[in-house]
Structure 1
Amino acid sequence: MSAPSVLIAGCGDVGSRLATQLLAAGWEVHGLRRDISRLPKGVIGVAGDLFDKECPATWPIGAVDYVVYCAAATVHDEAGYRAAYVQGLEHVLEWLSDYGQEPSRLLFVSSSSVYGQKNGEWVDETSPTQASGYSGQVMLEAEQVALKSGIPASVVRLTGIYGPGREWLLTQVRQGYRVVVDPPLYANRIHADDAAGLLAFLLEADRQGAALDNYYIGVDDEPAALADVVDWLRGYLGVTEWAEDASVRRTGSKRCSNARTKALGWKPTYPSFREGYAAVLEAKS
């Protein structure tokens, strides 16, 4: 039996982590990005720009068993989001059609920004999508492009990704970051390796014949109040000073459930922010 093949369109941080995991499991991996020199060793490079309607010259010619659309916006406004998530996906679907390629499944990497709940509610894949900002609204539009593509598709709504190179909160805590304690401001996270691991898990589950749902949320086991995360990090880092600025409060507060992915058999390597941030900090010491 030949190795399964996957094209990761937008093979950046999470995509490269996914590629590394799939290569270790014996997959043939094609990675599409502008600078293919930054792809992990063993990935077959597809030098191309998702924003360009022109099909990359190194597009794979043979069968492509799976596609993971894992792009990231380079311009953070509505036009930038639409170019990255809607138009880029449409380009990939056109290129697949041009080559007569019919993947077994498309995974579209979306965001929990499609949920606009603000009062600490628990959210799962059946919850209403109430996106108020352009980012969530464009993501919902892109999700429909994937689901109506004619290719069996699943949408993976990732929550806040952290890990090596994604250390904004650690920097803020070292500077005495203050957050509102009451009412609690809930946030949802997933370590970058677990985000990639969930995508790999879903690909393998589909390959083994599991019936996949249209939607999955990618989140760890413990959505936590931001104040609790900051307090734990202050203790771990030994930070004793507070910033002089008044407490800050972000908009939005919800708790995302991973019950659906857990029921399928997935388990995060880093079940909470404690294990994940400890791993990040230990790696730097």
Structure 2
Amino acid sequence: MTQPLVLMLGHGYSAAALAARLGGTRVLGTTRSAERAAAMRAAGVEPVDWADAGAVDRAIAAASAILVSVPPDAEGDPVLRRHGAALVAARPGWVGYLSTTGVYGDRSGGWVDETDALTPAGERARRRVAAEAAWSATGLPVQAFRLAGIYGPGRSVLDKLRDGTAQRVVRAGQVFSRIHVDDVAATLAASMTRPAPGQAYNVADDEPAPPADVVAFGARLLGLPVPPEVPFEAADLSPMARSFWAESKRVSNRRIREDLGVALAFPDYRAGLRAIAAAGG
């Protein structure tokens, strides 16, 4: 029997977490970086040079499942643009496309689920909506995963608190949804065992929360002073960060629980941050 082969088109943070979960499965991942390729080999993932289109096409032809985490650009989806024909010819049994909950736009703190209309507010989110549609139009067995704000070891408020860059920004009524990277990987793995071509899934935890609450909890967890509140209008935020703050919504995860049987390891930010701190991260 042929060993299952999973190909990560874009071997980033979430893809690496999924690869670590797929014990006994051959995993390939694309990268542009020689340093990243060495780290992938050390983790048991076979690197494929993204610059070598022929090598990527051959990996696509061999894959039984493909995860796509390459973001769209101003011209559309770069994976479909360069490898669409190879993907359609290969017909993998499962394709997962990593999208974002930004496709829903601003809901003034209200709840959204996968049946709600997509009303993206910014250019990056509009590109994601177009990319979801482009993947759907291929006829491939694509499932879209709309990810909330991802955090985990090495990428959490604890790191910002330790290096002194955390801001406790406050804005009335502002809430964000989050998801621990290990729960992203668990959701993707569950979908591989229960393919539902054409389906979209929100990947978020149970408790949307104001970001200031998360910073305060993280500070107390580390035994550090809680940073003072900073009004949103006075906060030192990058243009990309300000674009996130332009939206406020609560993201329902009912579909991944009911359809995929996902039981979140970290159902809220407190559980996730405690686990990261306990592991020394």
Q: What TM bracket, shorter-length normalisation?
A: 0.7 to 0.9
Identity of aligned residues (%): 32
Q: Tell which deviates more after alignment, 243-252 or 260-269.
A: 243-252
Q: Deviations over 1:132-178 (max 9, x none)?
A: 10111000011111111121111001110011221357515855633
Contact kept? 1:10, 1:70, Cα under 8 Å: yes
Taking the aligned partners of 1:63 and 1:11, their CA distance within structure 2 comes to 17
- 5 Å-filtered alignment, 1:177-188, equals 177-180=167-170, 183-188=172-177
Which of 237, 258, 263 is equivalent to 2:258? 263
List alignment gaps of at least 5 residues for structure 1. 73-79
Contact kept? 1:46, 1:58, Cα under 8 Å: no
Q: Deviations over 1:174-198 (max 9, x none)?
A: 55633326x3311111111111221
- 5 Å-filtered alignment, 1:180-199, equals 180=170, 183-199=172-188
Contact kept? 1:69, 1:89, Cα under 8 Å: no
Distance change (3 Å), C-alpha of 1:212 and 1:111:
same
Could you tell me which residue of structure 2 aligns to residue 21 of structure 1?
21
Contact kept? 1:117, 1:254, Cα under 8 Å: yes
The question of 1:81 aligning with 2:69 is answered: no
- 5 Å-filtered alignment, 1:203-214, equals 203-206=192-195, 211=196, 214=199
Q: 3-state DSSP class of the match of 1:261?
A: helix
Taking the aligned partners of 2:56 and 2:179, their CA distance within structure 1 comes to 35
Taking the aligned partners of 2:223 and 2:278, their CA distance within structure 1 comes to 14
Bigger fraction of residues in helix: 2
Which of 86, 93, 97 is equivalent to 1:108? 97
Taking the aligned partners of 1:269 and 1:244, their CA distance within structure 2 comes to 30
**How much has 1:241 moved relative to structure 2?**
5.3
Could you tell me which residue of structure 1 aligns to residue 239 of structure 2?
none
Taking the aligned partners of 1:244 and 1:8, their CA distance within structure 2 comes to 40
Q: Deviations over 1:14-47 (max 9, x none)?
A: 111111211x1x2222211123222153323211
Could you tell me which residue of structure 2 aligns to residue 30 of structure 1?
28
Taking the aligned partners of 1:172 and 1:114, their CA distance within structure 2 comes to 30
Could you tell me which residue of structure 2 aligns to residue 46 of structure 1?
48
Taking the aligned partners of 1:229 and 1:64, their CA distance within structure 2 comes to 40
**How much has 1:119 moved relative to structure 2?**
1.0
Where in structure 1 do 4 or more consecutive aligned residues deviate above 6 Å? none
**How much has 1:234 moved relative to structure 2?**
3.0
Q: 3-state DSSP class of the match of 1:193?
A: helix
List alignment gaps of at least 5 residues for structure 2. 236-241
Q: Note the aligned Cα RMSD (angstroms).
A: 2.6
Q: 3-state DSSP class of the match of 2:63?
A: coil
Contact kept? 2:61, 2:87, Cα under 8 Å: no
Contact kept? 1:30, 1:44, Cα under 8 Å: yes
Q: Deviations over 1:95-148 (max 9, x none)?
A: 334xx3111121110011111124111011011211110111000011111111
Taking the aligned partners of 1:262 and 1:93, their CA distance within structure 2 comes to 32
- 5 Å-filtered alignment, 1:216-255, equals 216-240=201-225, 242-243=227-228, 245-247=230-232, 248=235, 250-255=245-250
The question of 1:137 aligning with 2:126 is answered: yes
TM-score (norm 2): 0.83
- 5 Å-filtered alignment, 1:265-280, equals 265-280=261-276
Contact kept? 1:185, 1:225, Cα under 8 Å: yes
Contact kept? 1:187, 1:225, Cα under 8 Å: yes
Distance change (3 Å), C-alpha of 1:29 and 1:175:
closer
Contact kept? 1:184, 1:227, Cα under 8 Å: no
Contact kept? 1:118, 1:251, Cα under 8 Å: no
Distance change (3 Å), C-alpha of 1:95 and 1:82:
farther
Distance change (3 Å), C-alpha of 1:244 and 1:2:
closer
Contact kept? 1:176, 1:243, Cα under 8 Å: no
Contact kept? 1:63, 1:102, Cα under 8 Å: no
Distance change (3 Å), C-alpha of 1:146 and 1:239:
same
**How much has 1:244 moved relative to structure 2?**
7.8
Contact kept? 2:158, 2:219, Cα under 8 Å: no
